[in-house]
Amino acid sequence: MLRSVILAASRSARLARLVETTPVSRSVVRRFVAGTATDDALRVTRQLVSDGLEVTLDHLGEDTLTAEQAQATRDEYVRLLGALEGAGLGRCAEVSAKLSALGQKIDVRLAVEHARAICVAAAAAGTTVTLDMEDHTTTDSTLEILADLRKDHPDTGAVLQAYLRRTEADCRELATAGSRVRLCKGAYDEPESVAYQSALDVDKSYVRCMNILMSGEGYPMIATHDPRLIAIAEDRARWFDRAPNEFEFQMLYGVRPDEQRRLAGDGYQMRVYVPYGTEWYGYLMRRLAERPANVAFFARALGSRK
Ligand SMILES: Cc1cc2nc3c(=O)[nH]c(=O)nc-3n(C[C@H](O)[C@H](O)[C@H](O)COP(=O)(O)OP(=O)(O)OC[C@H]3O[C@@H](n4cnc5c(N)ncnc54)[C@H](O)[C@@H]3O)c2cc1C
């Protein structure tokens, strides 16, 4: 119930403007977001890499409604990838991009063109792109664009959401040699017709999907903070004889940082998803929806107005 209310609020443009312009305590946003500028993204990337972690950088923004905004998003990714290359960070840091930020909802061809330009810049920087997955109305379009991009850039990563009923079948399709697939639970408010509603059903689906990916030929990216699912992934890696460089764990910046370091210390590849930019509202609201304890933290910080 609370989750649905927060997720509904996450789609309100009016509320976004209000919250983004409130002199909110910097600490609340900084806990989950690297900062607003390219330099902030680089600074946090360097810190994490020096701790033995890998990174995927997300320039915040989604549901772009103008061609100019979509172009600006593409330009920022290309600038970021150039900066990563210049800093010699291409080996440890890739990028995650949302097709809706690249214009998917105004003109699919435009989004494909922008995504292709980002893939070219990533290849030049010696790294990769992963296409984030958004709400279920975009799944088919996103997977079609992925297939198109993979013709020239086969290392482009996919994201599949365990809460969708279709995802087991998508895992089977995508568990092919060289295919990078991030498996997450899913962060949007989806109807029962397409998505499992109970936490237990989502977790069971996650395990079924993980079994397909870990026993398949692709490269699974296990994106979760859930201790039970992490333990099951460690078990499956042993069971299916996957060496530590044949899959990776992924977690969000600011969430369970001690566990991130524990996994890296145990020899696993651990990639941290690091968002940056000014449009942090929708991202932050989805994090609040996942964990009610964060709502109290956010409310206290708003009240303190630091
Ligand atoms: C790298 C990455 C990329 C993602 N990309 C996408 C995407 O493209 N599309 C999409 O829809 N979603 C994406 N997500 C979000 C994802 O779908 C989930 O909404 C989010 O990860 C929360 O799910 P969870 O698996 O961590 O489990 P949850 O059910 O949220 O948490 C399970 C358990 O994890 C522990 N836990 C969680 N948070 C904390 C915390 N702050 N402190 C301590 N313990 C905690 C608790 O024990 C909790 O019970 C991504 C997530 C990650 C990590």
Catalytic residue among 58, 74, 132, 236: 132
d(CA 214, CA 17): 42
Q: Is 152's pLDDT higher than 90?
A: yes
Per-residue pLDDT at 18? 67
Instruction: Please confirm, yes or no, whether 266 is among the known catalytic residues.
Output: no
Q: Is 265's pLDDT higher than 50?
A: yes
**Contact 195/186 with Cβ under 8 angstroms?**
yes
Per-residue pLDDT at 306? 41
Tens digit of pLDDT for each residue in 39-88? 999 999 999 999 999 999 999 988 898 999 999 999 999 999 999 999 99
> Ligand 1 in contact with 255 (CB < 6 A)?
yes
Per-residue pLDDT at 151? 98
Instruction: Please confirm, yes or no, whether 262 is among the known catalytic residues.
Output: no
- Residue 279's domain comprises 2-302
d(CA 59, CA 129): 12
Residue having the nearest C-alpha atom to atom 47 of ligand 1: 226
Confidence of residue 108 (pLDDT cuts 50, 70, 90): very high
Residue 155 belongs to a domain with what CATH number? 3.20.20.220
> Ligand 1 in contact with 153 (CB < 6 A)?
no
* Host H or E run for residue 61: none
Per-residue pLDDT at 63? 86
- Mean per-residue pLDDT, 1-9: 72
- Which residues are bridge partners to 271 per DSSP? 54, 250
Tens digit of pLDDT for each residue in 267-283? 999 999 999 998 888 88
CA 106, 12, 41, 288 torsion-angle sign: negative
- 19 versus 224: the higher-pLDDT residue is 224
DSSP state of 277: S
d(CA 279, CA 64): 11
> Ligand 1 in contact with 72 (CB < 6 A)?
no
Tens digit of pLDDT for each residue in 233-246? 999 999 999 999 99
Q: What percent of the chain has pLDDT over 90?
A: 78
**Contact 186/162 with Cβ under 8 angstroms?**
yes
| Phi, psi angle pair for 275, to nearest 5° | -85, 150
Interval between CA 212 and ligand 1 midpoint (Å) = 20
Closest by CA position to 157, among listed 85, 213, 227, 215: 213
**Contact 271/221 with Cβ under 8 angstroms?**
yes
pTM score, whole prediction: 0.93
Q: Is 305's pLDDT higher than 50?
A: no
d(CA 216, CA 195): 24
Task: Indicate the number of domains in the chain.
Answer: 1
Confidence of residue 231 (pLDDT cuts 50, 70, 90): very high
Tens digit of pLDDT for each residue in 179-225? 999 999 999 999 999 999 999 999 999 999 999 999 999 999 999 99
Confidence of residue 298 (pLDDT cuts 50, 70, 90): low
Ramachandran class of 61: left when φ > 0, alpha when ψ lies in -120 to 50, beta otherwise: left
Lowest mean pLDDT among 150-154, 255-259, 292-296: 292-296
Q: Which of 290, 295, 298 to mutate to test the pocket of ligand 1 (most atoms within 8 A of CB)?
A: 290
